[in-house]
């Protein structure tokens, strides 16, 4: 499938359309066919726990709801390379645990995962190779 990334909460999101339409847009952006996207939608809705809000414009979503939508969409993909900037946190303790559990699955099925983070403990628990940057230079 190529690469998938989660960097900015609102990156690639059209705030004027519904969560469903944004799932379709993100799927197209990641190179999926419409038929592939349609098959993923029920699982994305279930994982996101957005319920009927999925049919509302994203501009009505809280930041946490946008994060749920984005992570649920990303989590349904099967990229060859996964890029994450910092760590995913929704503010909701229960959903955050759900995200962490799903990240383990996502990491196992993705050949290459690159995470930019300041959380050394999490990185050491999940990484098989760590590159530390000091003033823009790699410190191995």
Name residues whose C-beta falls within 8 Å of residue 114's C-beta, 6 or more positions apart in sequence. Answer: 81, 82, 83, 84
Question: What pTM value is reported for the model?
Answer: 0.77
- Where is mean pLDDT largest: 56-60, 68-72, 120-124? 56-60
Q: Is the pLDDT of residue 45 over 60?
A: yes
- Where b means 16+ CB within 10 Å and e means fewer, 90-117 reads beeeebbebbeebbeebeeebeebebee
Q: Does domain 3-139 have CATH number 3.40.50.1000?
A: no
Q: What pLDDT shows up at residue 9?
A: 47
Domain boundaries, the chain: 3-139
The whole-angstrom distance between residue 32's C-alpha and the CA centroid of its chain comes to 16
Whether pLDDT at 13 is above 90 = no
Q: CA–CA separation, 68 vs 113, rounded Å?
A: 20
């Amino acid at each position: 499938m190529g690469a998938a990334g989660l960097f900015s909460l609102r990156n690639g999101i059209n705030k004027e359309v519904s969560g469903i339409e944004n799932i379709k847009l993100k799927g197209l952006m990641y190179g999926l066919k419409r038929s592939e996207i349609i098959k993923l939608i029920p699982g994305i809705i279930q994982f996101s726990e957005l319920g009927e809000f999925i049919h509302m414009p994203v501009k009505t979503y809280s930041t946490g709801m946008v994060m749920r939508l984005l992570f649920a969409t990303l989590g349904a993909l099967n990229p060859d390379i996964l890029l994450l900037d910092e760590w995913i946190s929704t503010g909701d303790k229960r959903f955050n645990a759900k995200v962490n559990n799903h990240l383990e699955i996502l990491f196992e099925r993705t050949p290459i995962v690159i995470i930019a983070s300041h959380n050394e403990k999490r990185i050491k628990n999940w990484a098989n190779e760590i590159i530390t940057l000091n003033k823009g230079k790699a410190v191995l």
